[in-house]
Amino acid sequence: MAFDFKKEYKEFYMPKNKPSIIDIPGMNYLAVRGKGNPNDEDSEYKDSIGLLYAIAFTIKMSYKGNHKIDGYFEYVVPPLEGFWWQDGNKTGIDYKSKDKFNFISIIRLPDFVTKEEFDWAVDEATKKKKQDFSKVEYLTYDEGICVQCMHIGSYDDEPATIELMHRYMEENGYELDITDTRYHHEIYLSDPRRCAVDKLKTVVRHPIRKK
């Protein structure tokens, strides 16, 4: 049976729909940076998703091709995630000003995938698909202490969940720590093309620090 990150690391991907404090270790990701409203038809965000999945599946299928990655095991590609921020906003994100969004779209990489293996995958995808993948980067990120919660429903309704998260962190002696390098984080467990809006599952995570 293929290794499924969501099942093996439930504390990261399947939290309850009530806030909790968690320490997120360093992980490696595929990443694409961009700006603008993610809902626009020709948005940089939508382009980023296609770029990420092309490289993610090139790596996943590498063992079945002519390139063997050391330490390879059969696995399910982890869910799409995103870091989001707006310049100068240290309290989260303003959902009414989506045109001002900055983002880093990410997909977690298995630990055995090195920077060299990533470089091979970009070259391989570029040759096979005849497409530019220069925007995709190998990102190592140590997220640290965060408050998180499962949000069920529309992305635009996340502020209510975030309010609960912030209240919980304050009750437990923490304060918000959104900075130029620590971001509002979302993990998308549902495909909005195939799931009713009121049933969408999204992990929402904010960086925090002890008061």
Give the pLDDT of residue 1: 79
Nearest Cα neighbor of 195 from 79, 33, 106 is 79
Dihedral angle sign, alpha carbons of residues 41, 45, 51, 56:
negative
CA distances from 31 to 58, 91, 137, 173, 202 (A): 15, 23, 5, 33, 19
Across 8-22, 38-52, 68-82, 148-162, least confident range:
68-82
Structure tokens at 112: 């055995």
What is the pLDDT at residue 180? Answer: 95
Among candidates 92, 107, 85, 82, which has minimal Cα distance to 164? 92
Q: Is pTM beyond 0.75 here?
A: yes
The predicted structure's pLDDT at residue 84: 98
Local confidence band at 62 (pLDDT 50, 70, 90 cut-offs):
confident
pLDDT per position as a tens digit, 102-144: 999 999 999 999 999 999 999 999 999 999 999 999 999 999 9
Which CATH number does the domain housing residue 13 bear?
3.20.80.10
The phi and psi torsions of 35 (rounded to 5 degrees) equal -140, 165
CA distances from 126 to 100, 121, 169 (A): 31, 8, 45
Which structural domain, as residue segments, surrounds residue 174? 3-210
What is the phi-psi region of residue 139: left when phi exceeds 0, alpha when psi lies from -120 to 50, beta otherwise? beta
